[in-house]
Amino acid sequence: MLLWQEYAQAHPDGRTWRYTQFCEHYKAFRARLKRSMRQHRIAGEKLFVDYSGPTLRLREGGCAQVFVSAMGASSYTFACATPAQKLDDWIEGMTRSISYMGAVPHLIVPDNPRALIAEPDRYEPQANATVLDFARHYGTSVLPARPYHPQDKAAVESAVQVVGRWILASLRHRVFDTVAEADAAIQALLPSLNQRPFRKLPGCRASVFAELDRPAMLALPAAPYELARFKTVKVHIDYHVEVDMHYYSVPHALVGQALEARITRRLVEVLHRGQRVASHARSNRRGGYTTLDEHMPASHRAHKDWSPQRLIAWGEQVGTATGIFVTRALARHRHPEHGYRACLGLLALARRYGQTRLEAACESALVLGTYRCKHVHEILKNNRDRVTPPAQGDWVSPEHDNLRGAQNYQ
């Protein structure tokens, strides 16, 4: 009757049909419509998610968006308030849906929002990296409905209407201070929605969920998903990658390659071809460096590990003279690091000439009063360390005419 009245009002001066004739034409039109397929929902298989059109008003302007999800077999419904419909909000809504139900569905079916789907396609849609990471964490899959085919997610379309009638209609006159306050109001009304008896079927959404969906769903992981974002990074020559103006080390063999960084609130993970090659606690210090020793080349690691105490200990291990030489070589500079290279030069000389000869050369250098590495090298190169010094008290000057005594200075 309403369709006929609308048609009559749309054609006030043209040809009009009386109600009986209109019904005949409408029946003919309805016979040409595409047939509807009744969907058979497998227990525990699909969770349909979407955002409600109606929103909740906030006191300082703006509104709280309402996220809605529903299980396919039982229509068990969850709703929550989020600040917007961005990627963070979608992930938060899906994570809270799974936690509310206490189990994981085998498949999550959203629409095709830009926040979730990187490449919308009727046949091979591609979700973005964060959504794939979310699905991997829960051991589930995310498959969006076909574009412009709301019938693919009819369960959540119906759930949106139910949430609008039984929750948002109850809150339509309220103005909330924050999104959290609006969310708390929704959570208080959710149990009554899911426990409301069906009109034509036995039980309610909660009872059918407990009987059908819940036993067939997957177990929850040990911890809820933590939002992660991904960034392509290139390994610099110093084997570090940059994330938010902080630099994190990766294995030095990957210098020059493009890697993928997985960034959470507490952690930065670096992936190479899907495999994790580095993991660091996230730092907010701009311009700072976080470096792990195992990522450094062997030569860099050896240089980093040297300290004045270790150099002195090594010198004393070679011999007493070498230990004294190293100590004095470090002490002659304002900062001990100035003497590092000289001491590391002694290491090279020990590998080339042996520790015994190095000890003898350092002893000669101490007699000469020099503490430079190149002088020790000259002693070793000229084999002066092999010359036996004369014994104390064995040599006596012979008598000759040039000797003068005290009588010559009267």
Kindly state whether residue 398 falls inside one of the protein's structural domains. no
Residue 84 and residue 172 share a domain: yes
Residue with tokens 């190479």: 272
Quote the pTM value: 0.68
Q: Please report, for the domain that includes residue 165, its CATH number.
A: 3.30.420.10
Kindly state whether residue 80 falls inside one of the protein's structural domains. yes
Query: Quick check: 339 and 315 in contact, CB under 8 A?
Result: no
Residue 78 and residue 165 share a domain: yes
Q: Which residues of 363-373 are buried (b: 16+ CB within 10 A; e: fewer)?
A: bbbbeeebbeb
Residue 188 and residue 157 share a domain: yes
Segment 84-90 mean pLDDT: 94
Kindly state whether residue 41 falls inside one of the protein's structural domains. no
Under the banding of pLDDT at 50, 70 and 90, the label for residue 391 is low
Residue 235 and residue 205 share a domain: no
Residue 105 and residue 73 share a domain: yes
Under the banding of pLDDT at 50, 70 and 90, the label for residue 410 is low
Residue 287 and residue 235 share a domain: yes
Residue 184 and residue 163 share a domain: yes
Kindly state whether residue 7 falls inside one of the protein's structural domains. no
Distance CA 313, CA 308 (A): 9
The rounded mean pLDDT for the chain is 86
Sign of CA dihedral 144, 150, 155, 159: positive
Residue 252 and residue 180 share a domain: no
Residue 79 and residue 153 share a domain: yes
User: Domain containing 267: what range?
Assistant: 229-297
Which residues is 48 bridged to in the sheet?
70, 109
Segment 89-93 mean pLDDT: 95
Q: Which residue has the higher pLDDT, 152 or 43?
A: 43
Residue 201 and residue 103 share a domain: yes
Kindly state whether residue 14 falls inside one of the protein's structural domains. no
Segment 388-394 mean pLDDT: 59
Kindly state whether residue 358 falls inside one of the protein's structural domains. yes
Identify the CA nearest to 285 among candidates 319, 247, 322, 331: 247
Residue 364 and residue 279 share a domain: no
Report whether pLDDT(351) > 70. yes
Residue 314 and residue 289 share a domain: no
DSSP 8-state secondary structure symbol assigned to residue 328: H
Report whether pLDDT(10) > 60. no
